Structure 1
C-alpha cells in the first residue's frame, strides 16, 4: 500500500468538515482507472470537495465505518480479503491496520453489526456470507463463520451461473441480515449470534423473486414496514412488505427503474430511501453488464414517491446522472443532496434534492476521480 497526502486542513476547516471516502476499481480486468481510496474534505456548502489523501491499493470497491467512526474497512473486489484502517478524527486521513481473508472470492459488500463486534461480508463470486470479529484496536480477526446460500441458479446464461450475494445490510432494528442474491433470484433473511458471530437462516429463509430479476441491493423505509430492491437484470424496483418480527418479505409491486423511453439494455445499480421516507431513488446503468461500454447518452437516477398507505411507488422523474454507469450513489445524512458516482466517466456529480417533490437539480461536478464505485460520508 502506498499513501499520498495531497492537502492539509486548517484547524478551523477540520472542525467543520465532512469527509468523503471514495472507493474505486483499479485493475485492468475491470478497466479500472482508479488509484485506490481517495479522501476528500467537503465544505459546508456540500458542493466543494477538496482532495486530501490517496491510499493506493487494488479494487477497494465498497467501504464502511464502524459505529465509533474511528475505523474504516474496505472489501477488495475480485480478490479475497478486506483491509482495515484507522481514521484520524481531526484530519480524516487513513492509516492501514492490516488485512484479513474473507473465506471466499470477490467480496462485494460489508456491514457492521449493531453491537460493533462483527463485520458481515458478501463473497459475491463464491456464494457465501462471512462474519469476522472486530478487535478492540480496529483490526480484524479471522473468519468466525462462513455460510453458503442454497438454491438453483436463475435462467440468465452469463449473469446467473451460481449463488451471487451482493448486499448484506442489517434491518433497521438490527435483528436480521438481509441478502439479495443476484444469481439465485432470492432474498435471504439471516440472523447473527452476537456472541459467536454464527449466521443462521430466519424462520422463513428466503423470498423468491420473479425469475431473472437479479436482486442486487435492498433499502428499508426508515419508519414504515417496507423495503425496496433494485433488481439488476430486469432494471426494476420491487416493493416489499417487511414483517419486523419474523423478518419475512412479501412482494407488493414491481416498477421499471428506467424511464418509458429507455428501450436499450440496462442494469440496475443502487437504491436508497430518503431520510424522511417520502422518496425512493434508483440508479440505472446503460448496457448489458460490465463488459459493455454503456452510453452514449448519460445514465439516469429514477425518483419515486412513496405511498404512506401501502408503501408502493409512483414515478416522479428520471434525471440524468451526468455521466456513465452510476454504479453507486448516496444521500447526505440531512437528505438535501445526492452524490452519483459515475464509474465509466470518472466523476462524482452532486444534486440538490427538493424536499417537497423529491426532484433532483444538478449542483455540479464535485470530484473527478478514476472509476468511482463507492462513496462513504463521515
Structure 2
C-alpha cells in the first residue's frame, strides 16, 4: 500500500510539473527609439498571436536616440534599455514573471551612446559598445538591478558595434565595424575586468563591417554578421583559447544587386536555424545549421517590415518576431520545424522606430 501511494504521489508530482511547464508564459519586448519606450506583448504559444500587455516609458528621458538596445539579465528578473541621446543612460526595469509587466527600478550612467548592451553570464555586469565613441565599457550591476557608473572604459578600433560574453563567461568579444576586426578580451567574472587576449582579435574581410555576433548553443561555433557586405561568417570556436577559426562565408542578400546594409543576427535556441535581417531590401534570410560542422545551408528569404533593424526568436524556436524602423510595426512568423522556412502570420503596431526585440519565457 505504501508503494502504491508513493507511486501516486510521484505521478501527481510529475503531472504538476508538466502543468506548470505548460502554463509558463512567454513575452515579447520591443524597444522603440523615437518614442523612448518598450512595448510588452504576451505570446499565445499555440497560435502565435500576440496580445498587448503594457507600454513602459523611460522615466526621466526626454530626447530620442538613433536606437534602443535592450539586455535581459540571465535570471530574467531585470531588463535594461540603453538610451543613445545625452545624458547617456541605462534604464532599468524589474520584470514581473507572472504578468510580464515592467516596473522601473533606476537609471544608471553610460559612458557614451551605446549601440549594443549585454549582461555578462552572471548578470553582475553590463557590457556596452559605443559605435560613435569607439569604445567598450563595463558597468557593475547591484543585486537590486541598478546599473552603476562604469568601472572600465577601453578604447577600441573604429566603430565598436556589439559586445558579447562567451558561453562560459571567460572571454568577451567586441565587433569593430570600421576596423574590420572582432576584438577578444579575457574576462574576470569576479572583478568584471577585461584584459587583452592573445591573439587580440580576429580579422574580418576588408570593408565587410563586422556588426553582430552569436554563439551556437553547443558552444562549438560562432557566427558573425557583416553590415557592409551582408555576409554571415561561420567560425569554429575554441572555448579554451577563446579563438575563432574561419569555416564558411554565406551571403544574406537576395538577388538583384542592392547595396548591402545588414542589421541583426539570431540563432534558434535548438541551434538548427539562423537568420539575418537586411535593411535595403527589407528581408529576412534563413539558413540551416549543421551542428556537427557548423556550416550553413541557405533556406531562402522572405519580405518583412520596412528597414528591419531588429528581430527576436521565442525560446521554443517556433516563432520569429521582426520589427521595421520605418514601418513602426512588427510581423510574427511561424518557423517550420523541419525546413526552417518562415511563414508570416500577422502584423502588429508597436512604438515609433522599433529596433530591438527580446523574447522571454518564464519557466
Please report the TM-score for the alignment, with normalisation by the length of structure 1. Answer: 0.83
Paired with 1:361 and 1:241, the residues of 2 have a C-alpha distance of 31
Matched, 1:300 2:257: no
Paired with 1:365 and 1:188, the residues of 2 have a C-alpha distance of 38
In the alignment, which residue of structure 1 is the partner of 2:213?
A: 218
Preserved CA contact (<8 Å) 1:19 1:42: yes
How many residues end up aligned between the 2 structures?
332
Preserved CA contact (<8 Å) 1:47 1:366: no
- SS of 2:133's equivalent in the other structure is coil
* 1:145-160 correspondence runs (5 A): 145-149=152-156, 151=157
* 1:9-158 correspondence runs (5 A): 17-26=25-34, 34-45=35-46, 47-57=48-58, 58-59=64-65, 61-79=68-86, 80-103=88-111, 105-149=112-156, 151=157
Question: How far off is 1:334 after superposition?
Answer: 0.7
- SS of 2:179's equivalent in the other structure is coil
The one-character-per-residue Cα deviations of 1:289-335 (angstroms, maximum 9, x if unpaired) are: xxxxxx6xxx21111122345322221211111x2111111111010
The one-character-per-residue Cα deviations of 1:140-164 (angstroms, maximum 9, x if unpaired) are: 2211111112x4xxxxxxxxxxx21
Q: 1:222 to 1:89 in 2, by over 3 A?
A: closer
Question: How far off is 1:134 after superposition?
Answer: 1.1
* 1:220-369 correspondence runs (5 A): 220-223=215-218, 225-259=220-254, 261-286=255-280, 299-321=282-304, 323-369=305-351
Higher mean C-alpha displacement, 58-67 vs 312-321: 58-67
The one-character-per-residue Cα deviations of 1:32-77 (angstroms, maximum 9, x if unpaired) are: xx34212222233353222222233444611122122222111112
Paired with 2:292 and 2:120, the residues of 1 have a C-alpha distance of 31
Preserved CA contact (<8 Å) 1:35 1:54: no
Preserved CA contact (<8 Å) 1:48 1:366: no
Paired with 1:164 and 1:138, the residues of 2 have a C-alpha distance of 28
Paired with 1:69 and 1:219, the residues of 2 have a C-alpha distance of 19
In the alignment, which residue of structure 2 is the partner of 1:190?
A: 185
Paired with 2:217 and 2:197, the residues of 1 have a C-alpha distance of 22
Please report the TM-score for the alignment, with normalisation by the length of structure 2. Answer: 0.86
Q: 1:144 to 1:357 in 2, by over 3 A?
A: same
Paired with 2:40 and 2:355, the residues of 1 have a C-alpha distance of 14
Preserved CA contact (<8 Å) 2:37 2:351: no
- SS of 1:329's equivalent in the other structure is strand
Preserved CA contact (<8 Å) 2:230 2:262: yes
In the alignment, which residue of structure 1 is the partner of 2:3?
A: none
Question: How far off is 1:118 after superposition?
Answer: 1.1
- SS of 1:138's equivalent in the other structure is coil
Preserved CA contact (<8 Å) 1:185 1:208: yes
4+ residue runs over 6 A deviation: none
Structure ranking higher on relative contact order (CA contacts 8 Å, 6+ apart): 2
Preserved CA contact (<8 Å) 1:49 1:367: no
Paired with 1:357 and 1:195, the residues of 2 have a C-alpha distance of 42
Question: How far off is 1:262 after superposition?
Answer: 2.7
The one-character-per-residue Cα deviations of 1:227-259 (angstroms, maximum 9, x if unpaired) are: 111100111111112111111112222221112
Paired with 2:143 and 2:24, the residues of 1 have a C-alpha distance of 28
- SS of 1:169's equivalent in the other structure is strand
- SS of 1:369's equivalent in the other structure is coil
Instruction: Supply the RMSD in Å over aligned alpha carbons.
Output: 2.0
